[in-house]
Each structure stands twice: as structure tokens, then as C-alpha cells.
Structure 1
Amino acid sequence: MKGTSSPRFPRKNLFFIILISFATLGLIALPPPEQESDPETERKFKIGVAYPVSISSASTTAFSNTEETQKLTWKKHVVESGESLAIAFDNIGLDGNTLHTLLETDKNTKQLERLRPGNVIEFGFNKEGQLTELRHPRNYLETLIVRHNGKSFTSELDKKKIETHTNFAHATIETSFWSAADKAGLTANQIMEIAALFGWDIDFALDIRKGDKFEVLFEQHYLDGHPVDRGSILAATFTNIGQTFTAVRNEDGKYYDKDGQAMRKAFLRSPVNFRYVSSNFNPRRLHPVTGRVKAHRGTDYVAPVGTPIWAAGDGVVLKSAYNKFNGNYVFIKHSTKYVTKYLHLTKRMVKTGQRVKQGDTIGTLGGTGRVTGPHLHYEFLVNGEHKNPRTVDLPQANSLSGKEQTAFKQRSKQQLAHINQLSQLVPNNNILLN
């Protein structure tokens, strides 16, 4: 009997079976790939520090508006000199009816008639070529948005949120107040505002000395994390020739000293924005033209020809005229007690009998009359007697009273204590930006 033999397995098939077996074992034995470490998960975060967070585009679908928004085609137009809104619309391809309807929407759209060269208008058109949206940035804070809902236009003002921080600067004067304030990081407007605040107590032409110092606490406005402009001065001190003056802003927007006395007084110490002074108040001096000793009952301020001259206080113009000695001159009467005189003007800008307010421009500095060079000669009379305008006692300022004064004194104490603390921390001639 022949033994039965197993069927022969083709060698080719055997090779494939072995290959598949090894591949299967490899899949079972191979460890899973090591997961890459995520630096975001391993990083240790610190409290109070902001970190960027990455969100994939797929995960943002839950936050997006589920309604499909129609994609617009935008055209940007910059207004040119002499160009009207009608011309701008025509250049974009819009007719007069659309312009008229849009302008009559409300008071916001009506202001589009007052566009200036350089202003920007952005037009958004739908796929049919119809005006669907208009955008006009009015300034860095506000954008006018006009939309068409298919029947009529509607408008809204998109206002960005401004953040306000409190900043601080201080400096010691070496050469001039302007130079020190500029090096400390203050703007030209802030420098002038400080001079105006203390201008009732300090003559910034004659009284500033080396070693004088100032400290100022002020608002800084931020938009999207970037500084955009400076706000109000909250409090300031100015030490002049050893005497310290203070100014603190009240809730009414006015400034008072630490005790609640108004900074504003009946007269300015100086009636001109100046840089140089030719001579001080001196009752006996050699006249520069005649060579004789003659009383010089006032103060001379040298500044560029055409510099505005201000009324030192409220009053009525006694005389606005010209003679060969005074040149163009203006005399102002302030109540029954005080008179101020302004001589050698290039131009007089008030008439006899005219009422003026403190700070009004009454003329411009010049060199008319008997003079050696352009300057303002300024005199201050009390009951007909010449006084030094730098040192004369001025009428007492108004003050806060009652509960308002009590509340102000508390706020003033806090602000000035804050200034004192910061002046110890911040290097001199520097600015602290929060």
C-alpha cells in the first residue's frame, strides 16, 4: 500500500506567508511612537504675565457667526484738494441719487459733506455691484459705518476704547525750563500748560533759576496697547528759588493749590510768551537812547517781532494809540485800582473802550517809538503808582469751601504724596511710562 503524501506547498507561496508573518509580528511588537512634547504644556506660567495663545482655525468655528456674511469688494478713496463728496462718488461710479439718500440718513452721514483733503472713504460693494457699506475714519478713535439693508441706509459710530494710565516726569533745571522739560519727555503742549498753571505765581522770563525743579503727574492715553496722546495734568509742583508751588486738578476741571486756593489770579505775572529779557524793573537806569538817568518803571521783554502780547487781566482799554515815544501802545484799566501798560507794539489789536479778558491778544511785540531794538515795555500801576509786576501782591484768588474743599484737600494730599514717592524712585530728568 502506498503511503499517502501531503501535497507539496509551492515555495513561492511559502515565501509570502513568512513575509506576512514577520510584518504582523513587527506591528505587534513595535512600541507606539514617542509623543512629541508640547512646549505650551511644559511651560510654567507666571501669574500676572500675559502669554499669546494659539488657536487653530478648525477650533474657531464655534465662535464664528453661523449666518453667512456676504463678501464685499472694497474700493478705497482718498479725498483730494477741491474735491467734493459728489465728485468722489462719481469717481467711484455712484450716482447722485445714492449720494442724496445716504446724506439724508441722519446727522452722522450729513457730516460727510465736510470732508477735507486727505480724508479716507472706503466703499463696499456686493456681487451685484451695489453699495452695501461705507466706512469713513473720522479720527483714530471713531469710524463712521453706513450700511444698506436693501431698503435704506443706517449709520453707526464705531468707537475704540481708550485706556488711561497715570504717568510721571520730573527734572532739575540747568539752563532753561523748556530744555529741562523737553529732556524729561514732556510734549510742547504740556510744557506750555505747566507754564500756564504757574504763570500767575512765577514769571517764567525773569524768575527761573538753575536748580529750580518741577514734578508732574499726568494722564497717558493708550489705544490697542500703544500710546496715542497725553491727557490732563493731574497734579504738579514747581520749586522756584526755594519756594514750592503746587497745582492739583479738581473734579470741576480747574486747578487749585494744595489748600484749595484757585491757581488762576486776577493778573498774569508776564503778558508775553518770551525767551529773553533785556532789563528788569529798575527805578533808576541809564536810558539806552538819550544816555540820561531816567526812571524805568517797568520790565522789558525781548522776543521775536510779532510775538502775541496778552492782556494781563480782565479790564477795559483806556487807550489804544501811537506817539513818537511809546510807539504803538495799549493801556488797560482793571477795576478802579489797577492799570497795565504795553508799549512799542508792532500792531495794536484792540480799540479804546473795548473790554478784554485775561489772556486775550491785544497786540504784537515790535520796535516802534523810542527804542534801540524790538521789545515789549510792560508797566503795572496800583492806585497810580508803578509797581514791579514780578513781586507786587496780586488780588487774592478764589478758594473752594465747605465739603468740596475738604474732599479736595484729601485728594490733593494723596496726589502730592504720590508725586513725592515717585520722585524718589524715578531718575531725575526722566519720565515714567506705565
Structure 2
Amino acid sequence: MCEEQNDHTHPHDSDSDSSRRPPSRRGILRWGMAAAPVAAGLTAMAWPDRATAEATTASGGGAFYRTVRGDTLRGIAGRYLGSEQRWAELYRLNRDVLDAHGGEPSPGLRLALPESPDGAATRSFAPLPATAKPLPVPPEGYRLDRIGDTFYAVTAGGTQAAFLVTRTGVVVIDAPPSLAEALPAAIRRVTDRKVTHLVYSHDHADHTANASAFGDVIRIAHTATAERIKASRDPGRPMPTVTFTDSHRLDVGGERLLLSYPGPNHETGNILIHAPRQRAAMMVDVVMPGWAPFRAWGTADSVPGVLRAHDLLATMDLDTYIGGHVHRLGTKKDIETSREFVRDLWSETGKAIAATDMGPFFGKVEAGNNWAGFDLYLQAVADKVEPVIHRKWLGRLGAVDVFTRENALTVALSHIVDAPQDL
């Protein structure tokens, strides 16, 4: 017997008018190019190339770097050669190419990287703190964590899913393609009962694209997730059969899950999944236990919404948190630490914006090139934020040095464009 109750729950209408849904932040950024050129000028800088460039090994064995806007020789040397002082080596090795472009690393240049003393010519990173290091992987190739007596989490390769065993069947939460073998195997280790329900946390393919493997089950999702799955036309992500807008209570075989939507966050439609009896919660791609946020906040639809989701999770009475990624499950302390970090990054970025006058940067570029002027301004803001966050957080969370600059740029744009008054 399956009893499902929710606020505004309805069977999914495959012919519903998706144009009625509120636009996501990414959608606003796309549509703004036609509707508001000034806004487009701002949003164009939300994903700077500077943070996405990487050193690459050529077929001949030598490493090279493809320059992007905002690069300097000192910056490249600092990121990839271990010291800004090695900029002269970089210049000497690429003198002909650089001199042909005024001696500066114009965007798109292919620069050879001199070997480091240890023979490496790639970017170095801070060591991971103990709380971020991978846990041992059992012979099965995945970790199976039992939460209470009926709730389980499966982790492999930095990705997680969960399932709830009931008297009448199994409820699966997410179906990552990277767990295509591990998740069914883990379920078989625990029970011979069939999967009867599948809950989509949100629509992103890295968490849901193997949903079709579970066959004809009851699939539950937020209405926004259903619309995005429909738009994806991905056979691996079958349409939900039940959708909701605010909250949904799922009672199956004596077990209960409470599904709720706090508003746009990592993704429009990304929901909170609460197992109250097991004192556990799952909210994917919001808190990464032991880690700083991923690049560009995981392409968050709403940076303010991610902060608000942290606030919500911090109020919950729970022992275990499942974040959908990294090597382990989280605790209430992990939620509080992540909340402290994202709040700190938001606050320090706000301080940097207040301390940085935008006007002079437009005088450094060709008249009318607002993109360039605004990029210089954002980079100056990030220059203030990055060292402060590194100083306060390196050693407390993993990968603070990896994406902080890009995340500061993303937060700066959110301060300016979203301008929330409650944070």
C-alpha cells in the first residue's frame, strides 16, 4: 500500500505549457542578451575564462598553456610554475610569440611551459585536509552506508545516491550513471524486494541519467524538474509520473520521506529529501561535506538560494546528510562549516565590491568596451577576496585554492544582479 500526500501534487501533464514556469537564473542570463543589452554585458562575465584554462601536455611530451583574457606572465607562472618569479623563464621560452603580440599574453596564445625543478609543468594544489580525503573503497568498488535500520547511501567515485527499504518495496533517490552497476548491486546486498519508486532530486544528468534502468516505477519530482527532463529529451531520464510544487509526503510500506522545495538553489526544482525517523536529509549539490563549493557554485541557478538552502539545512534536527558528491556522508557539523564558508565568501565579496570603484577600470580600455572594463573590475574584486579566503580556509576545507577565484567572481555578479536584501 502506498499513500502519497502533498501540497499541489498532480500527475504530470506531458502537454503542459512550460512557458508559464518562472525562468531560471541561467535562462535569465540567456534571454537577457536580447531583452537587456546592459544586463547581458554584466552576465557575460559570470563565467570567466581565466579560471577554466589548464596546462596541457602536448603529444611530444612538453606542456603548454592556452592564454585567456586577463592573463599576465606573472599570473601564469604563479599558477602553473609554482612561483610568479619564474615569469622571466616563461617569457624567454616564448619570446617570439609574445613579442609578436606586444610582449603580452594576448588571449588564445599557445605558450610552452618550462619544466619545474621536479620535472612537472602543471599547476600545484594545496593538500587535502583529513576531512576531505577519500575513504577506503571496499572490494565491491563502492561504499554502502547504513543510516538507521532501513535507509542506505551508496558512494563510488565521488558520487552518491540513496535508497529506502520498505515492507512493500524499495524507494531509490537518484540514479547516477556512474553508479549504474553499484546502486543495483548495493540494493541486492540488502534486500530482494523490487524497486517501486524513484525520486529525482533534480534534473542534472550526472545524478539522474540512469533512471530508465529501473523500469516502470513511480517516479516523483518537482514540477520544474519534470519540465527540464521533458526538454532534455533524454531516454535515460523518463518523465516523472507524479509531480509537486511545494511539498510531498511519500509513505510506502511503513516508511516515510518528506519532500519539500525551498525555492531555486543549485538548480530550479532541486528538492530537500528528509527521512525523519532516520534523522537524515539529502539535498544534492548544496553542501559538499569537507569541501569548498565546486566551480561557479556548480552552475547554480541562484547563489542566494544556495545560501538560503544552507540556512534551512542548519535548522534541521538530523545526524546524517547526503550531498550527492564527494567521498563520504556529512554531519550537522559539516553543514554548519559549509554554511560558515559560503557566508564568509558572500560577505568578503560584498566588502570587496564596496571597496572597489568601478569607474576607473573603464578608463583603462577602449571607449565603449564595457565588457572589458567590467571584467577588469570583477578581477580586481576577486583579487581582494581570494587571498582573504585562502588565509582563513585553507586546511579547513578541501580544494579552497581550486575554485575560490571563480566562485568569488560568480558571487560578485550575484551581489550586483540578484542584490538580495535578506543576506
- Normalising by structure 2, we get a TM-score of 0.22
Larger Rg: 1
* Bigger proportion of residues as strand: 1
TM-score computed with the length of structure 1 as normaliser = 0.21
Of Structure 1 and Structure 2, the greater helix share is in 2
